[in-house]
Amino acid sequence: MLMQGFATAMQPMYLLFALGGVLVGTAVGVLPGIGPAMTVALLMPITYSLEPTAAIIVFAGIYYGGMYGGSTTSILLNTPGESSSIVTALEGNKMAKAGRGAAALATAAVGSFVAGTIATVLLSFLAPYVAAFAVQIGPVEYVALMVVAFLTVGALLGSSVLRGLASLGLGLFIATVGFDSLTAQQRYTFGSPFLADGIDVVLVAVGLFAVGEALYVASRLRHGPIKVIPVTGGWTSWLRKDDLRRSWKPWLRGTLIGFPVGTIPAGGADVATFLSYASERKLAKGENKKQFGKGAIEGVAGPEAANNAAAAGVLVPLLTLGIPTTATAAMMLVAFQRYQIPVGPQLFESNSALVWALIASLYVGNLMLLVLNLPLVGIWVKILQIPRPYLYAGILVFAVLGAFSVNFTPIDVIILLIVGILGFFMRRFGYPIAPMVVGLILGPIFESQLRRSLAISQGDPVALVQSPVAATIYVVLIIIFGLSFLLKRRQRQFEAMVAENADAPDVVRGSAEAPEALAAPAATASTAPASTATATAPSREDTDR
């Protein structure tokens, strides 16, 4: 099956689409203010004329490319980054300042390639098994899985449980506007024909990600020149023997941490990078350990590998169960829906050719990224230096283009603006965006499955927890929550310590009071990787914008 996928993905036309996808993806990953989720949302209406396979291949390229691009920004840009990329920035930024930026970029790129490839292999082997299980589950189990996705994305990913749930609720609410799919009754349309068809997912996503972000950045734009740390030396001599010797183990460990975290509907790349960083620091010895905090290459290699492995892991529940666990995955799900591809447990069976072409294009895209990324670093640095007024004005233009292209009516642009203003205030007051998008997209599926389950049980809600599989899923959910709150506390300690050390960069880590605070998360990570992997930690999922 995979070979057939390769046969499709290797066609020159599709190779070109994959190339375009990874280039666009890397560019948006490099640029602050836009992420892969927003890009997929923007491109959806304007790639409508493409055939499904081509569009999905483009989106897969954007998905992987965005991960590569993000590391370049956090290594080379001299401003405190977002919380999701801060792990790479911790050591990578220090390395760049010490003139070792080239090595940091190289270990990030090669590590991303190694992790991406291994994780894609794991995906290829694991996905059919999960899919075989998935086709057997009924609406009751499906409801249970979606409850897990809602609660973990809503309550665990952000820094505030209530804000995450409020964001989720807003998404679910918008999802109910329009005709009820089962009884064709109008809901919350207030007699307006524009609301009868519901509010388009693309409008909400573009409004939240693009317009909301542009307005928010405009309100607090960082002024002055954009400081990019220069990279010296030819790219061929970037990864020295010594660097390679120190990097390959963190790459593999990062992959092993990242992939399972990504597959579980509680993951997200942030947790994986954090766990990887903590364990690398724990495992480092002697001279190398002292370098942590001052530019240790292991601290870049591990988290970057974990990041990419988690990105591949996220595709397992997405492709087999139709459950998105990040905003980007949610937008990929919308892309499937747009092209009339049924999402959910039957995706793998009914559209196996497309799914395998997608997986094959991930291998291809990963290789392209490795080959292109290092030689093109000059271009990425140029992109990083685009004047910010032009960048955010351009984001607005693309947003209105995408919104207008949904139905070719200016009213959609006005709806876009309203959603954008909502997104502005959500950012301002610390409400995470991803739960709203996931709620909006999964809401209608959730409702119909819920009603189907209750129709089968004739309205008896006990049936929802009576199935052994569903009951197991709920028990696992409770365990996830318990563990995550434990881990959350430890990560807070860890972050506090990192912040402390960042203020005083000359403090040698591993001395004085540091070991206790550090040993805690690292020990959990190394002793029980599988179970702690389910637990997640606070920090925003900014990579998913």
Partner 1 sequence: MSTSVQNAPGSGTAAAPGLPIGELIFALIIVSIGVVGFVAGAGIQTPPSASDIGPRAFPFAVSGLLVVVGAGLVIQVLRGHRGSADEGEDVDLDASTDWLTVGKLAGLVLLHAFLIVPLGWPIAAAILFFGAAWSLGARPWWRNLITAILLALVLQFVFGGLLGVSLPPGFLEGFGVFGG
Task: Please select the residue that binds partner 1; options are 3, 136, 190, 503, rule is CB under 8 A.
Answer: 190
Measured CA to CA, the distance from residue 376 to residue 382 in angstroms comes to 10
- Determine if 388 is a binding residue for partner 1 (CB under 8 A): yes
Contact map string, positions 154 to 173, toward partner 1, x by CB under 8 A: -----xx-xx-xx-xxx-xx
Return the number of the residue (33 or 510) whose C-beta is nearest partner 1: 33
Q: Are 92 and 74 in contact (CB under 8 A)?
A: yes
Return the number of the residue (60 or 445) whose C-beta is nearest partner 1: 445
Q: How far is the CB of 312 from partner 1 (least distance, A)?
A: 25
* C-alpha of 542 from chain center: 8
Name the helix (H) or strand (E) containing 140: helix 139-151
Give the SS3 label for residue 158: coil
Q: How far is the CB of 156 from partner 1 (least distance, A)?
A: 15
Return the number of the residue (373 or 539) whose C-beta is nearest partner 1: 539
Which residues, numbered 228-267, are part of the site for partner 1 (CB under 8 A)? none
Contact map string, positions 14 to 33, toward partner 1, x by CB under 8 A: ------------------xx
**For the purposes of burial, counting CB atoms within 10 Å of the CB of 73, is it exposed (0-12), middle (13-18) or buried (19 or more)?**
buried
Measured CA to CA, the distance from residue 178 to residue 199 in angstroms comes to 7
- Determine if 392 is a binding residue for partner 1 (CB under 8 A): yes
Segment lying near partner 1 (by CB under 8 A), choices 252-260, 287-295, 326-334, 396-404 = 396-404
Task: Please select the residue that binds partner 1; options are 416, 470, 477, 525, rule is CB under 8 A.
Answer: 416
Q: How far is the CB of 82 from partner 1 (least distance, A)?
A: 5
Task: Please select the residue that binds partner 1; options are 7, 132, 393, 479, rule is CB under 8 A.
Answer: 393
- Determine if 407 is a binding residue for partner 1 (CB under 8 A): no
- Which CA distances in Å does 515 have to 279, 315, 497, 519? 13, 36, 10, 6
Measured CA to CA, the distance from residue 267 to residue 293 in angstroms comes to 26
Give the SS3 label for residue 132: helix
Copy the structure tokens of residue 476.
Answer: 């696992």
Name the helix (H) or strand (E) containing 187: strand 186-187
Apex CA 437: angle with CA 73 and CA 274, to 5°?
A: 40
- Determine if 35 is a binding residue for partner 1 (CB under 8 A): no
Which residues, numbered 437-456, are part of the site for partner 1 (CB under 8 A)? 447, 450-451, 454-455
DSSP 51-63: -HHHHHHHHHHHH
Q: How far is the CB of 154 from partner 1 (least distance, A)?
A: 10
Q: How far is the CB of 54 from partner 1 (least distance, A)?
A: 11
- Determine if 6 is a binding residue for partner 1 (CB under 8 A): no
Torsion of the alpha carbons at 343, 344, 349 and 354, rounded to the nearest 10: 30
- Determine if 411 is a binding residue for partner 1 (CB under 8 A): yes
